Amino acid sequence: MTERKTHFGFEQVPIEEKVHRVAGVFDSVVDKYDLMNDLMSLGLHRLWKRATIMLSDVYSGQRVLDLAGGTGDLAYLMAQRVGESGLVVLGDINASMLGKGRERLVNAGMVTNIRYVQTDAEQLPFPDNWFDCVCIGFGLRNVTRKERALEAMWRVLRPGGRLLILEFSKPTVSAIQPLYDAYSFHILPWLGELVTKDQDSYRYLAESIRMHPDQTSLKAMMEDVGFQRCTYHNFTAGVVALHRGYKP
């Protein structure tokens, strides 16, 4: 039987191996993760995340699942949005990142309306029709079986609930592509080596972005699962896109 494979950046690896390879990336960079996000995006990631919250339609008292939540940027903003009567569940497959996120949010005083769950996005341990919103920021490209993860997100959303996917995408201005490629494949690994002593993880980051579905392809994947009213909003000339879809 032919061994089933998937991509890890530009490399083809056995499906079972990808999750361990991705875990190694985040274990390596966890201590400098937030610093690198600021450096490599020139702080723009904070604006993208705030715009995501503004476009989320989340309000007080709702339940939100923040998948691949990492160090808690989106969870922090969502927790402020849902208030004391709401709930945010920060989920991440990586124990190191989840621990860092919990430490950061507890230190920020967010202790009453946030819970933490180590979970695979493809196999969510939550009841059907339970969350008002599921968001995943800069994490879907690391998921091995994206369709399976989208199906799991659909299952745990209540009717009328919405999915938000914030992710790197395909630039819409062709003139910036050469500069974007030069930055991604030369500057970014160099920056990773300088700050984290790990250029390979940031080379993987650049490659994983190129392998991720573009705006229209991801929209079609959401629709195939059953999401309706699917739209996407480009940020920074399409370098990043926010996809939204609703469960009918």
Provide the whole-model pTM. 0.94
Tens digits of per-residue pLDDT, 28-45? 888 888 888 999 999 999
Fill in the amino acid letter for 99.
G
Report how far residue 32's alpha carbon sits from residue 78's, in angstroms, rounded to the nearest whole number.
23
Q: What angle do CA 76, 171, 241 make, to 5 degrees?
A: 30
| Residue ranges of domains in the chain, CATH in brackets | 5-246 (3.40.50.150)
Question: With bands split at pLDDT 50, 70 and 90, how would you rate the model's confidence at 68?
Answer: very high
Contact between 161 and 131 (Cβ < 8 Å)? yes
Report how far residue 138's alpha carbon sits from residue 143's, in angstroms, rounded to the nearest whole number.
10
In the predicted structure, residue 3 carries a pLDDT above the cut 60 = no
Q: Which residues of 175-194 are buried (b: 16+ CB within 10 A; e: fewer)?
A: eeeeebeeebeeebbebbee
Contact between 157 and 129 (Cβ < 8 Å)? yes
The mean-pLDDT minimum among 8-22, 58-72, 188-202 falls in: 8-22
Q: Which residues of 86-113 are buried (b: 16+ CB within 10 A; e: fewer)?
A: bbbbbbbbbebbbebbbebbeeeebeeb
